[in-house]
Amino acid sequence: MAEDFDGDWLDLREAYDAVARDLELGIALAEALPARPRLLDLGSGTGSLIRWLGPIIDRAQAWTMVDADAGLMSRAFDTMAERAEAIGLNATFPGKKTLLVHTPGGAWRVEGLLADLADAPDVLPLDRVDAVVCSALCDLVSRGWVTRMAAACAARRLPFYASLNVTGRERFLPPHPIDAIVMRGFRRDQRRDKGFGGTALGPAATEALATAFAAQGYTVLRTASDWRIDRRSREMAGMIAEGHAKAALPWERRRFDAILAWSKARADQAMARRLSVMIGHQDLLALPPD
């Protein structure tokens, strides 16, 4: 069973994700899709990637959200409808598991599929979609998972888009004497088994994706999509620091007290609007051969 994520955290990060993702890569994906594309969103969470890519595609489109968390799936439908209505769009539910968002460019049809992505690609309806997309997922998966996914996409000539894969480049400002220790523990946590059949790729995700899809004859495009959290974003900066400390503690037990002190210092700095954070990410788009 793959890891799950808190809906409030996903809502908090959505605006930062949207700013970080590379727009040109999103446009390149939209241009590669057919007139009425069908997309499969892996690890969809609350649907933030749909809300970002949908307007870029800007035409009638169909989405299947895939997640193992039934609570998040329900929240995603509610959030999609609420966000649409907040900007003046009509949202209707023609069925219990189907949402229609009526936009000037055409309707978005959104459906949900509850499935454990550890079992992908076998559990995915790849024969009924035109592209596979995901966000902040591929650094959690194993190399074997990526190899299987690339082969499955290639068999159906599907584009594959993965945004916000961590790169291992991180910076907290102002500096702290044990930043390196916290980062070391955090990087070790990134590589533990996250439920996808082996060691998680962590910062090696983008390279592993590029290698696997290139081996299938795909053209692979990569761009930076770093989070840059300035000092005004105290809640986000504080949450990132807290998450780093919690992840590092099991791996750096001899520095337990020092990491707790680091976490407290970073929380105080965030509240005082004196903490900024940069987290390195990359977006990747793999396009099948003509």
Those residues whose C-beta lies under 8 Å from the C-beta of residue 285, and which sit 6 or more positions away, are 25, 28, 29, 159, 160, 161, 220, 221, 222
Query: Hey, what domains does the chain have and what are their CATH numbers?
Result: 7-167+200-227+280-287 (3.40.50.150)
Question: What's the average pLDDT block by block, 10 residues per block, for the chain (290 residues)?
Answer: 71 96 98 98 96 97 96 94 94 89 96 96 97 97 98 98 97 97 95 94 97 98 97 96 96 94 97 98 96
* Alpha-carbon span 153 to 265, nearest angstrom: 46
Q: What is the pLDDT of residue 290?
A: 81
Q: What is the pLDDT of residue 97?
A: 82
Question: Which tens digits make up the pLDDT trace of 68-120?
Answer: 999 999 999 999 999 999 999 999 998 778 999 999 999 999 999 999 999 99
Closest-CA residue to 151 (of 206, 217, 195):
217
Q: By CB neighbour count within 10 A (0-12 exposed, 13-18 middle, 19+ buried), where does 127 fall? A: exposed
The two tokens of residue 94 are 């023609």
Place of tokens 């009526």: 102
CA atoms within 13 A on the CB side of 129: 26
The two tokens of residue 264 are 């407290």
Q: What is the pLDDT of residue 7?
A: 84
Helix (H) or strand (E) holding 46: none
The two tokens of residue 172 are 């907290």
Q: What is the pLDDT of residue 163?
A: 98
Q: What is the pLDDT of residue 1?
A: 45
Q: What is the pLDDT of residue 38?
A: 98
Report DSSP state, residue 58: -
Whole-angstrom CA distances from 12 to 49, 234, 286 are 14, 12, 28
- CB contact at 8 A, 165 and 281: yes
Helix, strand, coil percent values for the chain (each to nearest 5): 45, 25, 30
- CB contact at 8 A, 135 and 160: no
Q: What is the pLDDT of residue 6?
A: 80
Closest-CA residue to 42 (of 137, 127, 118):
137
* Alpha-carbon span 104 to 246, nearest angstrom: 45
Question: Which tens digits make up the pLDDT trace of 152-173?
Answer: 999 999 999 999 999 999 999 9
